[in-house]
Amino acid sequence: MTEATCRRELELEIPAADVQKAVEKVAKEFARVARIPGFRPGKAPVPLIRRRFADDIKGEVLQSLLPEEIDKAVKEKNLVPITRPQVDKVDFAENGPLKFRAVFEVLPEVQLGSYKDLEIEVDAAQVTDADVDKAIEDVRERSATFETIEGRPLADGDYAQVNLVGTPVGGGQPIKADAVLYQLGSQDTLAPFTENLRGAQVGEHRRFEMQYPADYPDHKLAGKHLTYAAEVLAIKQKKLPDLNDEFAKKISDAQTLDELRGKVRQGMETEREMQQNAAVREGLLRKLTEGHDFPVPEALVEHQMDARLERAVRSLAAQGVDPRGVKVDWAGLREKQRERAIEDVKAELLLDQIATAEKIEVTEEDSEKEIERIAERSGESAASVRASLTKEGALDRMKSKLRSDKTLEWLRSSARVKTREPQRS
């Protein structure tokens, strides 16, 4: 057996007498129903049946003897397979014992170490006046309008509205963009655009070259050398709305600017509390897994990798993106999830052990509340949700997750959570 992992290999042997007994039993069953030319049904001699249907008889014998022998062996060794045993190295001699190997994975033996009074540190959830001001200023920026400027050339801070054609040096498909806005001197505008558009008048054409760095975020442009032809269509300035009660009414259901600030603060506080709760959970699980070293079943890791990949696909679909149309190395992305998947599996196994040790169970009331929550979110009745979960075999999975969540909350109640001042961007 391979003890360093959750893989188990059992070399098993069934005595020759038991094998022959099984062969004779199966051969008699075949003789009873087989149709052999020259013999009435059920009258063909068993030796003839054994020769004629040797492979079929062998298959029936293996199917009848192997599962029983494997089941007996795992019980004797107190093993609980979590994957279906795979059989190989089968040695089925004519008059000898039946030898074979069974390979499967088991849950690891988890020796619980320290899990009470865990200490973690997370960002404080407070919201400052500066945070509120920045959030409102962001909304103000998004509500800005652009006014046309006439009678002077482009200057830093202005927005140049241009038609743009970029032709790769050495040949290639041109890149075209119509009526795009560039703010001259902005950190979001590449320096060559600012330098070559500065001083241009409306209607003027400018030509310039641009060498993109190799690490440019847009892979279509990274490392490319282009010649741009730009036509200035208009010169614009951004005009921000006045910060007053009218602005508050326009962007929200608040009647005054002070009321808007209060609503923004409340929303930010709720969001940061949620972020802090998630950080506490992640911190506890990280602390827990770091303090325990044990192997995890590869089958569970593979399942968790699939689940992570599925969540990524659902996230794209929720954003209106067809995952089939996205150029993504899905196999590579899945493999990148391995380390996190291992940590997920370790955390679940540890939570299960802690729940058992602390006698944490899911009550019927817990299950009903969760079903009602799912029903409210989906717009279905609680009875319909329960029926669907039962039909899909997902009721036990739901209860298992509830048990893990209750255990994590129990860990939090005994943990020492320290807060630190968050880094401001």
Same domain, 101 and 12: yes
Tell if the pTM clears 0.85, that is, is over it.
no
**Residue with the larger pLDDT of the pair 233 and 64:** 233
Residue 422's pLDDT band, with cuts at 50, 70 and 90, is confident
Domain limit, last residue, from 197, 217, 239? 239
pLDDT beyond 50 at 336: yes
Same domain, 154 and 235: yes
Name which of 70-74, 155-159, 396-400, 420-424 the model is least confident about: 420-424
Distance CA 340, CA 266 (A): 34
The proportion of the chain whose per-residue pLDDT surpasses 90, expressed as a percent, equals 64
Residue 46's pLDDT band, with cuts at 50, 70 and 90, is low
The position carrying tokens 């330098």 is 195
152: domain CATH number?
3.10.50.40
Residues in the chain: 425
Q: Quick check: is 129 in a domain?
A: no
Q: Work out the burial of residue 423: count CB atoms within 10 Å of its CB; fewer than 13 is exposed, 13-18 middle, 19 or more buried.
A: exposed
Same domain, 96 and 15: yes
Residue 146 Cα distances to 112, 200, 234, 243, angstroms: 63, 19, 11, 17
pLDDT beyond 60 at 277: yes
pLDDT beyond 50 at 1: no
By residue range, what is the domain housing residue 149?
145-239
Q: Quick check: is 86 in a domain?
A: yes
Domain limit, last residue, from 55, 84, 105? 105
The pLDDT value recorded for residue 317 is 82
Same domain, 99 and 12: yes
Query: Which is nearest to 14 in space by CA: 54, 55, 53, 71?
Result: 71
Contact criterion met (CB below 8 Å) for 232 and 181: no
Contact criterion met (CB below 8 Å) for 230 and 162: yes
The pLDDT value recorded for residue 316 is 83
Q: Quick check: is 281 in a domain?
A: no
* DSSP state at residue 416: E
Same domain, 100 and 160: no
pLDDT beyond 80 at 192: yes
Domain limit, last residue, from 218, 239, 260? 239
Same domain, 81 and 170: no
Q: Quick check: is 165 in a domain?
A: yes
The mean per-residue pLDDT over the stretch 3-15 comes to 87
Tell me the one-letter amino acid at 261.
Answer: R
Q: Quick check: is 288 in a domain?
A: no
Residue 421's pLDDT band, with cuts at 50, 70 and 90, is confident
The pLDDT value recorded for residue 321 is 76
Same domain, 149 and 235: yes
Q: Quick check: is 303 in a domain?
A: no
Q: DSSP 3-state helix, strand, coil percentages of the chain (rounded to 5)?
A: 50, 20, 35
The mean per-residue pLDDT over the stretch 67-91 comes to 91
**Residue with the larger pLDDT of the pair 285 and 322:** 285
The pLDDT value recorded for residue 31 is 67
Q: Quick check: is 227 in a domain?
A: yes
Structure tokens at 355: 């729940």
The pLDDT value recorded for residue 2 is 39
Same domain, 216 and 163: yes
| Start-to-end CA span in the chain (Å) | 54
* DSSP state at residue 285: H
The mean per-residue pLDDT over the stretch 208-215 comes to 92
Name which of 66-70, 92-96, 247-251, 347-351 the model is least confident about: 92-96
pLDDT beyond 90 at 176: yes
- Which residues, other chains included, contact 21 with Cβ-Cβ below 8 Å and sequence gap of 6+? none
User: What is the domain count for the chain?
Assistant: 2
Same domain, 13 and 95: yes
**Residue with the larger pLDDT of the pair 285 and 44:** 285
Tell me the one-letter amino acid at 214.
Answer: A
pLDDT beyond 60 at 269: yes
Angle between helices 382-391 and 395-414 (to 10 degrees): 110
Same domain, 100 and 11: yes
**Residue with the larger pLDDT of the pair 313 and 160:** 160
pLDDT beyond 60 at 425: no
Residue 34's pLDDT band, with cuts at 50, 70 and 90, is low
Same domain, 13 and 90: yes
The proportion of the chain whose per-residue pLDDT surpasses 70, expressed as a percent, equals 93
Residue 155 Cα distances to 160, 235, 236, 240, 286, angstroms: 9, 9, 10, 19, 52
Distance CA 286, CA 294 (A): 15
Residue 137's pLDDT band, with cuts at 50, 70 and 90, is very high
Q: Quick check: is 255 in a domain?
A: no
98: domain CATH number?
3.30.70.1050
The pLDDT value recorded for residue 93 is 78
